[in-house]
Every structure is written in structure tokens, then in C-alpha cells.
Amino acid sequence: GENVEQHPSTLSVQEGDSAVIKCTYSDSASNYFPWYKQELGKRPQLIIDIRSNVGEKKDQRIAVTLNKTAKHFSLHITETQPEDSAVYFCAASIGTYKYIFGTGTRLKVLA
Amino acid sequence: DAGVIQSPRHEVTEMGQEVTLRCKLISGHNSLFWYRQTMMRGLELLIYFNNNVPIDDSGMPEDRFSAKMPNASFSTLKIQPSEPRDSAVYFCASSPRTGGGKAGAFFGQGTRLTVV
């Protein structure tokens, strides 16, 4: 069935280091991949997205890469800061209207 | 635009009572999603609507759960009767079509439901 796997479930990095979160999707027809950041007690918020016709997209310290052949996509955060600490979710579109979310990665940036 | 608006923000109710959660979509969005979030199960899609029509309700856990979208901007999720295991944060999200532009789902602030 439709599935998005996300790894790791928790990630601790030193401030200034890079963090990488990886996701794998199952539906080869998925064509849109958003990433969400959820701070404690708050709503998930869209931080970056990528479409299937693009291999990489960057927005300041955040970048996403997509490998359609392998059905992998990843979130890269460089020069991490304490305020990057949150739970990050990947998602993949299913059909026109639906999104399946990964299980989340709890990122801790240690000062 | 104030974004997706949910009410109430917090709800504490006794087992067996009816609970109604409310959601107002972002103007111009035509897809509406209800999610449930718990520590154990993460973000679960319960149901989603497109143009007011329920498209997929396979995530609705039981017949005790029902959702409606009486118009293009408003939806309700009802639990009747509620049970302690329904305790979770319920998020509503809206989205334009995924076909073009920025089309991720935009979440409301959630309703934290506690059933005692």
C-alpha cells in the first residue's frame, strides 16, 4: 500500500553541524514532496517542498534532494542552530489531493 | 488571511459524550484534511474532502467518527460517543490542488482532545 518511511527517528547534532533526514516513498506516481517542521505544542508548518521534475531545491540553510529512480528524498540542514530543534516530517503526494506523512524525525541541536 | 482556524483549541470531555471539532479553511483552498496526532501513531490521515465531497474516509477509525463539509469553507469532525483512546491532537489542514504552485497542506493550530 501507500507508504512513506522516514529515518532516523531521532537525531542529535552539535550546533553548526549539518543534519540529514531521509525518506522513501512507495507510490511511483507521487510527484510532490513537502517537508514540515513541528515545534513542541505547535502545528506542522511547511518549510520547503520539491516537485518530481526537479532534483534539488535550496532555501538558505535548507535543501531537499529527490531521487525518483530510487524513490528517495532527503532534507539537508546546514549550519544548524538551536532553533532548528523540532520534529520534521516528510510527505509524499498520492494522487491529486492526498498526502502521506512519514513518522517524523526529532532533531535536537546541542548548543 | 488568518490561515486555517480550528476550534476549540482544547477540549476535555467525559467518556460517552459527543465531541464536535470545527475547522475553517483558507479562502480559495479546495481540499480539506483531518489528521489525528498521537505519540504512538504519529500523524494519521482520517479523512479528506475535495470541493466539499469526501474522497477518502478509510482512515476514520470507527463509526463513532464522522465528518462533514457543509460548504466550501467549513468542516466538522464529530466523535459520538467519545472514548479515552480518542485523546489526541486533531489537526485540520487545507490545500489547493497539488497540480501547480506551492500546494502543501496548511495546518490549523489543532484541537487537543482529552477524554476522561
Weakly modelled stretches of chain A, pLDDT under 70: 1
Which residue in chain A has the smallest CA separation from B5?
A43
pLDDT digits (tens, 9 = 90+) for B67-108: 999 998 999 999 999 999 999 999 999 987 654 444 577 899
Which residue in chain A has the smallest CA separation from B57?
A98
Identify the pLDDT of residue B64. Answer: 96
Q: Chain B residues with CB inside 8 Å of A98's CB?
A: 45, 48, 55-56
Which residue in chain A has the smallest CA separation from B48?
A98
Identify the pLDDT of residue A94. Answer: 83
Judged against a pLDDT cut of 90, whether residue B35 lies above it is answered with yes
Identify the pLDDT of residue B76. Answer: 98
C-alpha A107/C-alpha A109 separation (Å) is 7
Judged against a pLDDT cut of 50, whether residue B43 lies above it is answered with yes
Sign for the CA dihedral angle at B79, B83, B85, B87 comes to positive
Query: Which of B48, B69, B98 to probe by mutation at the A interface, max A CB count within 10 Å?
Result: B98
Q: pLDDT confidence of B58, banded at 50, 70, 90?
A: confident
Q: Chain A residues with CB inside 8 Å of B98's CB?
A: 31-32, 93, 96-97
B52/A contact by beta carbon, under 8 A: no
Q: Chain A residues with CB inside 8 Å of B91's CB?
A: 43-44
Compute CA distances B41 → A80, A101, B37, B38, B57, whole Å.
28, 11, 7, 5, 18
Q: Chain A residues with CB inside 8 Å of B106's CB?
A: 46
Radius of gyration of chain A, Cα coordinates, nearest whole angstrom:
13
A88/B contact by beta carbon, under 8 A: no
Identify the pLDDT of residue B1. Answer: 54
B102/A contact by beta carbon, under 8 A: yes
Q: What average pLDDT does range B37-51 have in this prediction? A: 89
Cα dihedral angle (B30, B36, B37, B40), rounded to 10 degrees? -140
- Write a three-state SS string for chain A: CCCEEEECCEEEEECCCCEEEEEEECCCCCCEEEEEEECCCCCCEEEEEEECCCCEEEECCEEEEEECCCCEEEEEECCCCHHHCEEEEEEEEECCCEEEECCCEEEEEEC
Identify the pLDDT of residue B101. Answer: 42
